[in-house]
Amino acid sequence: MDGTGETGEESGEKSHRTTPRSAAFRRFIAQGWGPRPVEDLDAAGSAPFAARRRAVLSSLFPGEVLVVPAGPLVRRSNDCDYRFRPHSAFAHLTGLGTDREADAVLVLLPTSEGHDAVLYVRPQAGRDAEEFFADARYGELWVGPRPSLPALSAQTGIDCHDVTALTEEVTAGLREARGLRLVPDADPAVTALVTPLRGQVPESADEEFVTALSELRLVKDEWEVAQLRQAVDASARGFEEVVRVLPRAVGHARGERVVEAAFDGTARVEGNGVGYETISAAGDHACTLHWIRNDGAIAPGQLLLVDAGVEVDSLYTADVTRTLPVDGRFTPAQRRVYQAVLDAAEAAFAVARPGVRFREVHVAAMKVVADRLSAWGMLPVDAATSLAEDGQFHRRWMPHGTSHHLGLDVHDCAQARKEMYLDAELREGMVFTIEPGIYIKSEDELAPAELRGIGVRIEDDVLVTADGVENLSAALPRTPDEVEAWMASLR
């Protein structure tokens, strides 16, 4: 990375930058530019759907000013930022994805008929402005041009104003409003700016707002479902790449990272990137639920658990897990554990349909897990006793839940109330995972010796339909025989 830029906060006696600042240079760099490239003035495909979501939110909080920041750039180290990703609530309500738009703020200002939406953003800097050439964080010569306010308004269907007008216009909106709610952790600077404007408010006000924003995403609209299909399809291609690189990964000192790089490279080419850190876990590492260090070797005869998902440009992500025999064929012990997990998944699929409570999907999978662990002599009680609330011994080998909602976040709708999540009935349009597993660590003395060091998870993404569920990730093989045949076809 070039090191000759200078931002406002880097200037001064401790700056090591060499950007010229003479009056002659400033006059010169502002000259000789042709028109900027023509901007896209078409409405984005997400725009009408985002408008409907804003209308629902408006109905929940009549007469109140609602503030949803995109969030700021986040420093990675010194003067380098992480790649920007907007807050999920902001993306949901504006339809903006990828890295758009740092420091922006969506505000819903109350009217007699609902709310008017205004998007406050940084405008384009003129080529005669110091930001244009000297600001390595925002300057056009450094990070590319920002869209103009008219172009962004055309794409989103939202009135766009200069972010410097935020305080004045929110203050004006509050004169006739009942109050103001915001997402307090999205952007500390925005929170600090608007909090003094609204006076005393109950501590629960923002919590209720964040909860509502989360619950607004529980049922996906048709545009969201299409985005999730794209994410799952791209993820399937990423898993194909994983199988193709396995021969190169075996024996490599960091074979897990060879696998990780294959999937993550596909994700970056096919979409915005990965939706979460890829889990590439060989052998005993598969028994660590969130193994993302991925610094281990992959040895012949092991299983490889890969939990990965592509996040497409709209920021919707897949979340898929497959457990693969490194040699292309399962050993009898591996197949026994794998089949138990698959049977648990099939039991969950069998009960999942509209009207069934979300938690019942987990219960169905746990019955199978407890039954198999009991048959293998690993439980101190029978399966029925273990399944009781005051038992749960089988959870030693599957401590996580069977399902979670999926969407803009890999664990979507996480701020929803319990009665709207675990205790809620499944509804058409919900998208969630089914992902049972059994994890038997190599040092587990309660397990048969031949099963130690085996970790298996099978995870699929499902869409609730009118009469059941559709497995969105069904293109990736699931049965042991299908997995073996699929791997052979790719090698």
Three-state secondary structure of the chain: CCCCCCCHHHCCCCCCCCCCCCHHHHHHHCCCCCCCCCCCCCCCCCHHHHHHHHHHHHHHCCCEEEEEECCCCCEEECCEECCCCCCHHHHHHHCCCCCCCCCCEEEEEEECCEEEEEEEECCCCCCCCHHHHHCCCCCHHHHCCCCCHHHHHHHHCCEEEEHHHHHHHHHHHHCCCCEEEECCCCCHHHHHHHHHHHCCCCCHHHHHHHHHHHHCCCCCCHHHHHHHHHHHHHHHHHHHHHHHHHHHHECCCCHHHHHHHHHHHHHHHHCCEECCCCEEEEHHHHHCCCCCCCCCCECCCCEEEEEECEECCCCCECCEEEEEECCCCCCHHHHHHHHHHHHHHHHHHHHCCCCCEHHHHHHHHHHHHHHHHHHCCCCCCCHHHHHCCCCCHHHHHCCCCCCCECCCCCCCCCCCCHHHCCCCECCCCCEEEECCEEEECCCCCCCCHHHCCEEEECEEEEEECCCCEEECCCCCCCCHHHHHHHHHHHC
CB within 8 A of 78, min separation 6: which ones?
none
Residue pLDDT tens, the chain, 491 long: 444 344 444 445 666 778 888 999 999 999 999 999 999 999 999 999 999 999 999 999 999 999 999 999 999 999 899 999 999 999 999 999 999 999 999 999 999 999 999 999 999 999 999 999 999 999 999 999 999 999 999 999 999 999 999 999 999 999 999 999 999 999 999 999 999 999 888 889 999 999 999 999 999 999 999 999 999 999 999 999 999 999 999 989 999 999 999 999 999 999 999 999 999 999 999 999 999 999 999 999 999 999 999 999 999 999 999 999 999 999 999 999 999 999 999 999 999 999 999 999 999 999 999 999 999 999 999 999 999 999 999 999 999 999 999 999 999 999 999 999 999 999 999 999 999 999 999 999 999 999 999 999 999 999 999 999 999 999 999 999 999 999 999 98
Note the pLDDT of residue 399: 97
- Distance in angstroms (rounded) separating the CA atoms of residues 118 and 107: 5
pLDDT for 203? 82
